[in-house]
Amino acid sequence: MDKATVVVIGGGATGVGILRDLAMRGVDVLLVEKCDLVNGASSRYHGLLHSGGRYAVKDQEAAKECIIENQILRKIGTSCVEPTGGMFVRLDIDDPDYEGLWVKGCADSGIEAKPITLEEAFRLEPLLSKHVVSAYLVPDAAIDGFRMSWQNVESAKRYGGRFQTYREVVGVLQENGQVKGIEVRNTITGEIEKIACDILVNAAGGWAGKVAALAGLEVGVQPDKGTLLAFNQRITNHVVNRLHKSSDGDIFVPHGSITILGTSSMSIPDPEDTSSSREEVENLLAIGEKTFENLRDYRMLRAFAGSRPLYMPPGGASGRGASRGFAIVDHANDGLKGMMTIVGGKFTTYRLMAEKIVDQICAKLNVTEPCRTAEEPLVPEVSENDKKEARKYFPAFGTNLAATRLGPERFARVADSLKNHPEKRELVCECENVTLAEVEEIARDLSSFQINDIRRRTRIGMGTCQANFCALRSAAVFAKYGQDNGARDSIGQMKQFLQGRWKGIRPVLVGRTLREIEMTRALYELSFHVNGGKKA
């Protein structure tokens, strides 16, 4: 039986933040996740590093947390953050009284909201609607949820932190009102395993209620689905928010070469529901084009959805009325010592959430080591000298991208492979500049059980062609280097990979997107007799 002092359930941002914090304080900690890391809400959102401006009127506590954590994450996760800056714009149809409340809320929350002239606003964002009547700059930014989360794991590993993916919790072991461990099912082999622990942390996000129920407990979590749209080019230079009461479709976030529009808010019974409908797409477009009038001229890459884990105390509000703050529940008060649940919050505050619950855990364990996660960088930066040398072998514009994805150790190994094996310079994914050497490096990792695991680490298939070409290439690499579980099916994996892309493409299947998917169909259905990627 495996054992750890603390077991963390859930491999999203909060879970990996707890893993890192505990490991840095010298606690023996193991994280378990039923799928791959960062497969839930932490990767299914708009990728905004909040300034707090969005909460300055209705939730100033959340706003203050955001602006503080915004500055911390910029410092410790430099390669994960694109400092785009943010702009709040009020349209002539928006309530002018709200603007005054918002300006005051930002000032009270410590958020710098700088008013600018319309001339300056249109210079910075030429595509803005001419119905804009006022504009402010705020310190919003874009953040890569995949990269930030994996860098937390890499940091935790340096301090002895451990993790296991594809382990679904099926039971909580307890004796005389005390947690003793968990039972997990290996979702690849089907085997049941037991893991002993002294403290169990439920950081399962939208699934936290289901995990609590395994222990005979109840936690009020309301999954709240948000749908987003990804466009194939950069429409904005800044994160652009509508200056009105938070609503659907009022935020645009630039990410690399694309733009994400979001989001909606819909209470759902099951956090597994990440579906998106054509109706939701049309609703987002109708609202979004009030801010950018030519929005429908841009090709939509895909729609996607995630489930926010909103904390629902008795009598609490739901949907957009619910707080975006977080809650920590010590189940000793419910008769089960050693089990704690953390729920709510948002990606921007994941580090703070981890710090607060780890403080409580360490008090129980008599660990006095202070939190250092706000001071120490997640991973060392690749040096400029190393990048300069590597540019001789990486594809054009690919060196910096690879350096931010890989970190110094992996980057050095990939650069060495490119130098000594020129054939490894072949691009597996042209859209994201991912070389064969990089895909092989990630495929060899002990946590790579599926092509989608490689996707989350390298971004293959996430560019403008949406896996048209890299699906087949990735399947070949996976078949050679992926973890052998005795039943690996590279063609089946390729179908699953394509199906994941198709799920997001189907709701936006119009115009140029429709023409491109016909090319994909011809490639895989006609040439390779693979049609699983095009089924509903």
Phi-psi region of 59 (alpha: psi -120 to 50; beta: other; left: phi over 0): beta
HSE of 119, CA atoms in CB hemisphere, 13 A: 0
- Tell me the DSSP string of 515-534: HHHHHHHIIIIIIT---GGG
Residue 411's pLDDT is what? Answer: 96
Asked if residue 507 is part of any domain, the answer here is: yes
Kindly tell me if the per-residue pLDDT of 74 is higher than 90: yes
Handedness of CA 366, 371, 376, 378 (dihedral sign): positive
Check which CATH number belongs to the domain holding 234 and give it: 3.30.9.10
Residue 327's pLDDT is what? Answer: 93
Q: 135 and 244: one domain?
A: yes
How many whole angstroms from its chain centre is CA 259?
15
Residue 487's pLDDT is what? Answer: 42
Query: What contacts 279, CB < 8 A, 6 or more positions away?
Result: none
The answer to whether 191 and 49 have CB atoms below 8 angstroms apart is no
Kindly tell me if the per-residue pLDDT of 140 is higher than 50: yes
- Cα 220 from Cα 458, distance rounded (Å): 36
pLDDT digits (tens, 9 = 90+) for 229-246: 999 999 999 999 999 998
Asked if residue 506 is part of any domain, the answer here is: yes
Q: Which helix (H) or strand (E) holds 81?
A: strand 81-82
Residue 40's pLDDT is what? Answer: 86
Kindly tell me if the per-residue pLDDT of 319 is higher than 50: no
Residue 230's pLDDT is what? Answer: 95
Residue 324's pLDDT is what? Answer: 56
Asked if residue 444 is part of any domain, the answer here is: yes
Q: Residue 305 — φ and ψ, nearest 5°?
A: -145, 150
Kindly tell me if the per-residue pLDDT of 489 is higher than 90: no
Tell me which range, 97-106, 322-331, 426-435, is most confidently predicted by mean pLDDT: 97-106
Residue 531's pLDDT is what? Answer: 63
Residue 488's pLDDT is what? Answer: 62
Q: Between these two residues, 321 and 464, which has the higher pLDDT value?
A: 464
Q: 523 and 446: one domain?
A: yes
Q: What is the mean pLDDT of residues 12-23?
A: 97
pLDDT digits (tens, 9 = 90+) for 415-429: 999 999 999 999 999
Tell me the angle at which helices 511-521 and 490-505 cross, rounded to the nearest 10 degrees. 170
The answer to whether 37 and 149 have CB atoms below 8 angstroms apart is yes
- Cα 320 from Cα 40, distance rounded (Å): 20
Residue 314 pLDDT grade (very low, low, confident, very high; cuts 50, 70, 90): low
Q: Which of 171, 166, 218, 159 is nearest to 195 (CA)?
A: 171
Residue 464's pLDDT is what? Answer: 85
Residue 483's pLDDT is what? Answer: 72
Asked if residue 160 is part of any domain, the answer here is: yes
Q: 137 and 150: one domain?
A: no
Q: What is the mean pLDDT of the chain?
A: 92
Handedness of CA 78, 203, 58, 252 (dihedral sign): positive
Residue 325 pLDDT grade (very low, low, confident, very high; cuts 50, 70, 90): confident
Total-model pTM: 0.93
* Type of residue at 121: A
- Cα 16 from Cα 494, distance rounded (Å): 28
Q: Which of 134, 131, 103 is nearest to 118 (CA)?
A: 134
Q: What is the mean pLDDT of residues 305-316?
A: 78
Structure tokens at 406: 């890989």
Owner of token pair 């016909």: 518
Structural domain harbouring 481: 426-534
Asked if residue 67 is part of any domain, the answer here is: no
- Cα 496 from Cα 288, distance rounded (Å): 32
Q: 92 and 170: one domain?
A: no
Q: 151 and 203: one domain?
A: yes
Q: Between these two residues, 243 and 466, which has the higher pLDDT value?
A: 243
Check which CATH number belongs to the domain holding 332 and give it: 3.50.50.60
Q: 236 and 136: one domain?
A: yes
Query: What contacts 126, CB < 8 A, 6 or more positions away?
Result: none
Residue 533's pLDDT is what? Answer: 43
Q: Which of 217, 263, 221 is nearest to 239 (CA)?
A: 263
Q: 194 and 294: one domain?
A: no
Kindly tell me if the per-residue pLDDT of 317 is higher than 70: no
Asked if residue 151 is part of any domain, the answer here is: yes
Q: 208 and 262: one domain?
A: no
Neighbour count for residue 416 (Cβ, 10 Å): 14
Kindly tell me if the per-residue pLDDT of 323 is higher than 60: no
Kindly tell me if the per-residue pLDDT of 536 is higher than 50: no
Nearest-Å Rg of the Cα atoms of the chain is: 23
* Type of residue at 519: M
Q: 254 and 358: one domain?
A: no
Q: What is the mean pLDDT of residues 217-222?
A: 92
The answer to whether 246 and 58 have CB atoms below 8 angstroms apart is yes
Residue 1 pLDDT grade (very low, low, confident, very high; cuts 50, 70, 90): confident
Domain count, the chain: 3
Q: 524 and 460: one domain?
A: yes
Beta strand pairing call for 29-32 and 2-9? parallel
Beta strand pairing call for 29-32 and 162-164? parallel
Kindly tell me if the per-residue pLDDT of 274 is higher than 50: yes
138-152, 219-233, 311-325, 511-525: least confident range: 311-325
Q: What is the mean pLDDT of residues 103-114?
A: 98
Q: 241 and 109: one domain?
A: yes
Residue 535's pLDDT is what? Answer: 42
Residue 308's pLDDT is what? Answer: 87
Q: Residue 416 — φ and ψ, nearest 5°?
A: -65, -40
Asked if residue 131 is part of any domain, the answer here is: yes
Q: 212 and 329: one domain?
A: yes
Asked if residue 393 is part of any domain, the answer here is: no
